[in-house]
Chains A and B, each alone.
Chain A
Amino acid sequence: QQQVKQSPQSLIVQKGGISIINCAYENTAFDYFPWYQQFPGKGPALLIAIRPDVSEKKEGRFTISFNKSAKQFSLHIMDSQPGDSATYFCAATKTGFQKLVFGTGTRLLVSP
């Protein structure tokens, strides 16, 4: 019940296209859902996060869509750029849990 399932494992998108990464969770007590971006050889960096009281959060070209009834959330990268090529991890946690449950990661390649 603590798992977060992430798909696809890898993704190739043309420059200017939309990248979409999906995650699904089982534990309905989860109340915080962050996304991390990791470049090769670097530590993951917090990209954007959402709480279940909203269905969408947008920061620049990055948008999280959240479907509480389906227990799914997704990251959309609009106008994808080669500089967005990285591995993306979704995660989930619940207040007071002190730990994040991570998805398995999606390797995104944006072709020029």
Chain B
Amino acid sequence: SQTIHQWPATLVQPVGSPLSLECTVEGTSNPNLYWYRQAAGRGLQLLFYSVGIGQISSEVPQNLSASRPQDRQFILSSKKLLLSDSGFYLCAWSVLGGVGEQYFGPGTRLTVT
């Protein structure tokens, strides 16, 4: 069966500090991978998605970047965090060429102080 991991689970970082969030998927190959952000009590904002190693599509211009160094690894980064980067960050995967179902990870709660 497939499993998706995210770490860390929670993170408190000062403004201006760098960020690295990691997501890994087990039990599948060549998945589509996604990063979402969810502000408190709000909906799901797609930040980045990837259909393969090194292939990243950015949905919203912002202070963040994403990378996919390995088939089942997706990393979300920032060089300098802003207060507005606070939120709940969710990684998701779907089957490449599948029907569209996405499966979400447990999320990372980021608080920028």
Residues of B within 8 A of A102 (CB): 43-44
Closest Cβ–Cβ distance, residue B85 to chain A (whole Å):
19
Contact of A99 with B90 in the complex, beta carbons under 8 Å: no
Expressed in whole angstroms, the Cα–Cα distance for A95 and B46 within the complex equals 18
Give A49's nearest chain B residue, CB to CB: B101
Expressed in whole angstroms, the Cα–Cα distance for A41 and B104 within the complex equals 13
Closest Cβ–Cβ distance, residue A91 to chain B (whole Å):
8
In this assembly, does A45 line the interface, its C-beta being within 8 Å of a C-beta of chain B? yes
Give B18-32 as 1s and 0s: 1 = Cβ < 8 Å from A's Cβ atoms.
Answer: 000000000000001
Q: B62-70, B75-83, B105-113: which one contacts chain A?
A: B105-113
Size bracket, chain B contacts: 20 to 34
Task: Select one of A32, A103, A105 contacting B99, CB under 8 A.
Answer: A32
In this assembly, does B17 line the interface, its C-beta being within 8 Å of a C-beta of chain A? no
Residues of A within 8 A of B90 (CB): 43-44
Contact of A89 with B43 in the complex, beta carbons under 8 Å: yes
Residues of A within 8 A of B103 (CB): 46
Contact of B104 with A100 in the complex, beta carbons under 8 Å: no
Task: Select one of A41, A94, A103 contacting B107, CB under 8 A.
Answer: A41
Contact of B107 with A42 in the complex, beta carbons under 8 Å: yes
- Supposing A89-B44, A95-B99 touch, asked if A44 and B32 sit within 8 A by C-beta, the answer is no
Give B88's nearest chain A residue, CB to CB: A41
Expressed in whole angstroms, the Cα–Cα distance for A71 and B43 within the complex equals 21
Expressed in whole angstroms, the Cα–Cα distance for A100 and B93 within the complex equals 11
Residues of A within 8 A of B (CB): 32, 34, 36, 41-46, 49, 89, 93-100, 102-105, 107
Shortest Cβ-Cβ A-B pairs, 3 listed: A43-B104, A93-B100, A32-B100
